[in-house]
Amino acid sequence: MKRNADKFECRLRMVRFAQQHGVKPAARAFDTTPKTVRKWLVRYQQERLAGLNELPRIPLSCPHKIPPTLEQKIVRLRKQYPFMGAKRLQREHHLPCSHHAVGRVLKAYGLVKKRRKKHKKKKDLSTLKQHWKLFGQLSVDTKDLKDIVHYWPQMKALKLPNVQFTAREINSGAMFLGYANQKTAYNACLFIQTVLNHLKACGVKTEAMRIQTDNGSEFIGCYRQDRSRDGFETIVESEAFKARHKRIPPRAWSYNSDVETVHRTIEEEFFDLETFASVKDFHQRVAAYQAYYNLVRTNMNKKYQSPWQIIKNQWPEMKIDLVKLPPLMIDWIGPDYITKEEYAIRGDDLPWLP
């Protein structure tokens, strides 16, 4: 009977045969058991033709199904933190169910974003990078903030920065941020000089450290008469730091994937969600996020450790001040966050930030 394509027609003929000749003859004629014939005969007598349809095979009850209150909590958390996936929601909010159950709820409510499929799968280098020397390389890049829909109106109204300078350490994933209104070589030099001075003051050896950038004009500078570069490369390779400036090949953006990943993360977790009241409020909020990223936020590709945990495991005597450098507001000075142009107009009687 299971091999019959038209099961409904087969059941109807079997039931009619049983009504005329009995249950056991029908079982022998249709190569099945009397119990099966009796089941379909009873259903036919109770519901007529509708009783010969297949009933759902799903169980009437599911003991391990999550309660509706937990289901609504998952939906609420996902809408509040749209950048968090099933695993991260379950881990960070201590949900009493597996991440597979969280994923099923998100899918049922249409809260799963479809990712664009790539033609070629990237190589997973996270395991390899775990063996790199700690603070052996900093990847530095810039991010334009003008194309973030939620941030752009606030940027225009409050005169917030439109360029982000990012430096990320490869092994631990620790990041250092800077903000300015222009993507200039001066701002890039000031940013990397401050970051390297901070690392050196915390006991990190900058000698032979690689500072990797792309070939943007803010990083490669201009040629001098002796064909040497000025600006960014000069500061990095100066006697004060003795680091090495490493440039990636043209159009090889995957070389800077570590810092590009941070740009996507901070856009989804910070700029797409936060609303600011002033430049000072922006600085306080982005400083809080950077502290959260370096001290608390765990990374799945780094065995669910935060950058500070990785640094502390490899350098037990290192002080936490290493990852507590606040974001640099390159174009703003003074306690009231005035710009350099406003400072020049108002004179020199303003106090400086310590």
User: 213 with 273, same domain?
Assistant: yes
Distance between start and end Cα atoms, the chain: 87
User: 210 with 340, same domain?
Assistant: yes
* Structural domain includes residue 123: no
* Structural domain includes residue 351: no
Using left for φ > 0, alpha for ψ between -120 and 50, and beta otherwise, residue 185 falls in alpha
The pLDDT, as a whole number, for residue 4 is 43
Tell me if the pTM is above 0.75: no
User: 297 with 246, same domain?
Assistant: yes
If we measure between CA atoms, which residue out of 272, 264, 271, 258 comes closest to residue 301? 258
User: 146 with 75, same domain?
Assistant: no
Q: Are 259 and 166 in contact (CB under 8 A)?
A: yes
pLDDT tens-digit readout, 234-278: 899 899 999 999 988 887 767 888 899 999 999 999 999 999 999
* Structural domain includes residue 118: no
The pLDDT, as a whole number, for residue 345 is 57
* Structural domain includes residue 61: no
The pLDDT, as a whole number, for residue 211 is 94
CA–CA distance, 92 with 48 (Å, rounded to integer): 55
Range of the domain at 45: 7-52
* Structural domain includes residue 94: yes
Q: Three-state DSSP class for 17?
A: helix
The pLDDT, as a whole number, for residue 160 is 94
CATH number at residue 326: 3.30.420.10
- DSSP state, residue 33: -
Number of Cβ within a 10 Å radius of residue 16: 13
Stated length of the chain: 354
User: 150 with 226, same domain?
Assistant: yes
Residue 126 sits at the vertex; the CA angle it makes with 120 and 128, to the nearest 5 degrees, is 105
Catalogue the long-range contacts made by 98-101 (C-beta closer than 8 Å, 24 or more residues apart). Answer: 101/66
The pLDDT, as a whole number, for residue 120 is 53
* Structural domain includes residue 121: no
CA–CA distance, 168 with 203 (Å, rounded to integer): 18
Number of Cβ within a 10 Å radius of residue 215: 12
Q: DSSP strand E in the chain: where?
A: 137-144, 163-169, 175-180, 210-213, 244-247, 328-329, 332-333, 338-339
The one-letter code for the residue type at 15 is V
The pLDDT, as a whole number, for residue 164 is 96
User: 46 with 74, same domain?
Assistant: no
User: 140 with 102, same domain?
Assistant: no
User: 286 with 314, same domain?
Assistant: yes
Enumerate residues 6+ apart whose C-beta is below 8 A from 62: none
Residue 278 sits at the vertex; the CA angle it makes with 168 and 185, to the nearest 5 degrees, is 40
Total domains present in the chain: 3
User: 17 with 134, same domain?
Assistant: no
User: 341 with 213, same domain?
Assistant: yes
pLDDT tens-digit readout, 300-312: 888 899 999 999 9
> Could you tell me the two tokens for 312?
């502390």
The pLDDT, as a whole number, for residue 225 is 59
The pLDDT, as a whole number, for residue 351 is 44
The residues of the chain scoring below 70 in pLDDT are 1-5, 115-127, 129, 222-230, 253, 333-354
CA–CA distance, 29 with 48 (Å, rounded to integer): 22
The pLDDT, as a whole number, for residue 255 is 82
Sign of CA dihedral 206, 211, 217, 220: positive
* Structural domain includes residue 353: no
User: 44 with 77, same domain?
Assistant: no
CA–CA distance, 235 with 241 (Å, rounded to integer): 8
> Could you tell me the two tokens for 26?
């029908």
User: 296 with 324, same domain?
Assistant: yes
Q: Pick from 76, 108, 140: which residue ends a domain? A: 108
* Structural domain includes residue 119: no
